[in-house]
Structures are given as structure tokens and as C-alpha cells.
Amino acid sequence: MMECGKRQVAVIGGGASGLAAAVAAARCGAETTLYEAMTRPGRKLLITGNGRCNLCNKRAGDGGVYAGMNGTDAAELAASVFARFSADKICAFFEEIGVAVRAEGDLLYPRSGQASTVLAALLKEAERLHVKLKYNVRIRSLRRDESSGRWEIGTDGWTYTADAVVLASGSKAAPETGSDGSGYALAEEAGHHVTRLEPALTGFIIEDPQLRLASGARTKARVRLVPGLAEAADADPAEAAGAVPAGRGRTVSEEIRETVYAEEDGELQWADDGISGIAVFQLSRIAAHLPEGTPLRLAIDLVPDLTEEELTASLRLMAAHMGEDAQLRQLCAAFTHERVARYIEEISGAPDKMFAASDKTSAAPVETTGLSAGISAAPAETPGAPDKASTAARLLKHLSFPIAGTRGFDRAQTTAGGIFVSEVEPDTLRSRVAEDLYLAGEILDVDGPCGGFNLAWAWASGYLAGSAAARSI
């Protein structure tokens, strides 16, 4: 173990990574000061996991779940950091400072079920180690005086100095918690570069006036992130116009239509203007890493545990029992939330009477609304029209929504993108472009999925950067 130095370390940001960095630096004997822009530290930490704080994930250590805007570097950096401060070490650290940890599968939580326990324990440990905690201090400038070899840390009315700085000012996600993105400018002032930044772990905006019918519903579903139809049409305008290309087994747009960028099972939360929930959050992160402007759709299977044939058979039994009074909405409501069933009935484009007595017919799909592309619904009197049960089954399994956007940084849990990870040493998080500068947490181009991975990254990177800053390694 290297000997700890006696240095002045300044930590910018009193969030998860900054608090871990301050504790680590102080444990290594550095005279440590933490600067936090808000009147209180850890504002974001307090709202994590709906106030329960999913503080780590047992699988964080393999690094592979992490991604960056800039290729595979992020996963490699995460693996290097977790090799030095693993998920087990994170748990041991918290147990040591008074936070008992409980596992729910791979997800780790404080046993108290309260994020406030985690914050209180970190602050108590920082105080025990005599870390100077300065709140309501937003850092505006960061430059190193080459003659003295010290960092000058400017606020609105004062300049502080330090031997080493840990920049742990977070990202642009949830700016009301204090992480307003100002840390990127500080990093750039020190010579760093920042990738494209996108909100991640957030909901999708869906522009469909009829969606209000489903608003407030929560449903289990399988969701897929797939290319938008615009992309399919762009890829093959002739096919989009109806022409069948000769001599080709599959067209470009068919290939695109079969592409699934990502798939998740989980609960969906339906709102007037969009769809969210953890499964959608995970997809939004994948979307954030796709090239800017990629047209995307959200494909929803509301009954993933049954095949379309099984579902149709089950619905036919119900329809037969209900007789001619059977409504599409009633059938759908047997398998999903009543509000979503109402929405489905509305977009099916076919009033109940059109389906009367058509239960024995079955037919090829007929295109309906743009919002439900690939979904069939046709009046009963149309020869070969699908029966009510098969229409319900198709709708329940093949809803498809063009994604108009995301809920943005205000409602994002994390930011995809950040400072290029090639600009830090993977074993210490020391800057490669500025002396005695260390970077930790979400400000770096490393992001993980929901499930405790982002806090795990904040603790591990913060602890590593803080102890390295104190030791000047």
C-alpha cells in the first residue's frame, strides 16, 4: 500500500461521487474541502430509487453493462475502476460507516429502505474525518497556476486554492438537484473535451391525442426499441411506395423492420403524452447511444407470455361465451389494463358493431392507423376480415408507436456522454491533460442501466479518484 500524502484536496460537487471522494481523500490523510453548489449536499442521492436508494448492483464489477458515447472505452474504464473498488468493497464500505445493506436479487439497497440513511452516514463519516463541507458555493472557474503548482478554484466572490482537485460535479440530468452541467465547462477550462450529451433513463414522448384514454394505466409488457418507419422508407423508397424489388429475398426496409435495438420486460406507465416505466427507461438509454436523429418506434407486446395463436384461441373462447355482445374492449381488458383496452378499441378504427358475428372468420391483416402500423382491423362485412378475437390478439401483441422524443434532462436519471474517458488514467482517474486533476462520477462518459449501476459507478470512481488525489498518484 502506498503511503498517504498530506495534501490539500478540493472536491467539487457534494453528490454521490464527491462525497465518496472526500471521504477517501480524508482517509488518506489529505486536508479535504468539499464544495457544493446547493444549500445541502446529496439532493439527487435522496431521490434515488424512489427514495429507497438502489445503491449498487452485484453485477457492477464486470464493467460490461456500462457504455459511453465514444465506443467501448467506457466499459473498459469501468472494469478497471471496479477491479480496484468492487461491488463487494462498496457494500463493505457502507456497512463500515453504518449502512446495513440488503440484496433484492442483484440489486442492493440500504436495509432501512431510505436514501437518507446513506446520505447521513456519508456526512457523518466526512465530519468524523474533518472534511470541510462548504455549501451554497457554486464553482465558476478552475485553473492551475503553473508558477505555484496549485489549483485556483473560483466562486462568484472568492478564489480557493488546493494542491489537487477532484471534479465530481455530475451531469445535466435532474438539474433541480444541482447538477446543471456547469462542471463540463470547468473540465473544458482545464483542457478536457466533452462528447455529445443525451438524456438517458427517461420516458418517451408519444404524439397521439388518443393516448389520453390510456393515461394513468400501469401494465406489464415486453417493449422493443425498433427503427422508425421513416428510416425503413428512406432505406428503400421503391418498396415504401409498394414496388416489390425483383431478385431479392429480403429488402433493405424489411431488414430494418426486423431490427430490434433492445428489448425489455417490465411495467409501463401510460400518460397523456408518452410512456415511461423502468423498461422504457432502459430503452431510452440505448436510444441515447444511437446516432443523433435516428427515427425510432416503441413496439409493445402486452401479453408476452402467450403466442399470438394462444392468445387468439383464448380470446375466441371468451368471445364465443360472450356472444354477439362481446366488445373488443372487453376482450382486451381480460389481458391488460382497462384504460389501455379502451385505447386499443379506439385506435382499432372499428366500432363494435363492425365485428358482430364475425368471430369465425380469420384473415390477413389490413392496415389501420399510422400509430398501430402492422395491426389489423377491418369491418366484419369485408370479406376475409379478421374476427374480433384475432384483432384483439394482434392489437395486444403488436402496438407500435413512433417516438417523438424523450422527456429530456429534466426528467432523466442519467446523462449519456461526458468527458472523454481516454483523457483519464484508468487506474487512478487522474487527468491526462491537466496535472493534479481527477475526475469522478457521471461527469465522465460512462453510464449504466437502471438497477444500482450508476450509483455503483459514482461510489467506485469517487473513492478511487479521492484516494489517488490524496496520494498524488
* CA 126/CA 120 separation, integer angstroms: 10
> In angstroms, what is the minimal distance from the CB of 306 to ligand FAD?
32
User: Would the CA dihedral through 39, 44, 49, 50 be positive or negative?
Assistant: positive
For position 49 contacting ligand FAD by CB under 6 A, the verdict is: yes
In angstroms, the CA 227 to CA 225 distance is: 7
Cα 32–chain centre separation? 32
Stretch that binds ligand FAD, among 169-177, 296-304, 374-382, 393-401 (CB under 6 A): 169-177
Q: Which is nearer to ligand FAD, 194 or 393 (CB)?
A: 194
- Size of interface with ligand FAD, in residues (CB under 6 A): 41
Does residue 16 belong to the site contacting ligand FAD (CB under 6 A)?
yes
Q: Binding segment for ligand FAD among 23-31, 48-56, 379-387, 426-434 (CB under 6 A)? A: 48-56
| Grid cell at residue 232 | 425503413
User: Contact with ligand FAD (CB under 6 A): which of 36, 73, 231, 264?
Assistant: 36
Nearer to ligand FAD by C-beta: 64 or 370?
64
Judged by CB under 6 A, the stretch of 121-129, 168-176, 231-239, 366-374 that binds ligand FAD is 168-176
Q: How far is the CB of 158 from ligand FAD (least distance, A)?
A: 13
- From the CB of 77, what's the least distance to ligand FAD, in Å? 14
Q: How far apart are CA 172 and CA 183, in angstroms?
A: 9
Check binding of 452 to ligand FAD (CB under 6 A).
yes
User: Which residue among 35, 204, 281, 335 contacts ligand FAD (CB under 6 A)?
Assistant: 35
User: Residues 112-151 vs ligand FAD: string with x where CB under 6 A?
Assistant: --------------------------xx------------
Query: Residue 124, CB half-sphere, CA atoms under 13 Å: how many?
Result: 11
Contact track, ligand FAD, 279-308, x by CB under 6 A:
------------------------------
Q: Of 13-21, 80-88, 202-210, 244-252, which part binds ligand FAD (CB under 6 A)?
A: 13-21
The closest alpha carbon to 420, from 437, 435, 433, 436, belongs to 433
Site membership for ligand FAD, residue 110 (CB under 6 A): no
Strand blocks (E) in 318-409: 399-402, 405-406
Is 178 or 386 the residue whose CB approaches ligand FAD more closely? 178
Of residues 139 and 416, the one with the C-beta less far from ligand FAD: 139
Which residues in 236-255 contact ligand FAD (CB under 6 A)?
none
Nearer to ligand FAD, 436 or 447 (CB): 447
Residues in the chain: 473
By beta-carbon proximity to ligand FAD, the closer residue of 179 and 336 is 179
C-alpha closest to that of 284 among 403, 154, 368: 403
391 to 420, contacts with ligand FAD by CB under 6 A?
413-414
Quick one: which of 418, 443, 403 has its CA closest to 203? 403
| 268: contact with ligand FAD by CB under 6 A | no
Close Cβ partners of 17 (under 8 Å, ≥ 6 residues apart):
168, 170, 440, 441, 442, 457, 458, 459, 461, 462, 465
Could you give the CA distance from residue 24 to residue 47 in angstroms, rounded to a whole number?
24
Please give the Cα distance from 444 to 70 (Å, whole number): 11
**CA–CA gap between residue 196 and residue 445 (Å, rounded):** 9
Q: How many CB atoms lie within 10 A of CB 361?
A: 17
How far is it, in rounded angstroms, from Cα 237 to Cα 259?
18
Q: Does residue 21 bind ligand FAD (CB under 6 A)?
A: no
Helix (DSSP H) and strand (DSSP E) numbers for the chain:
15, 20
Which whole-number Å values give the CA distances from 291 to 69, 281, 296, in the listed order? Answer: 10, 18, 11
Contact residues for ligand FAD, defined by CB under 6 A: 12-18, 35-38, 41, 43-45, 47-49, 53-54, 138-139, 168-170, 173-174, 177-179, 182-183, 413-414, 441-442, 452-455, 458
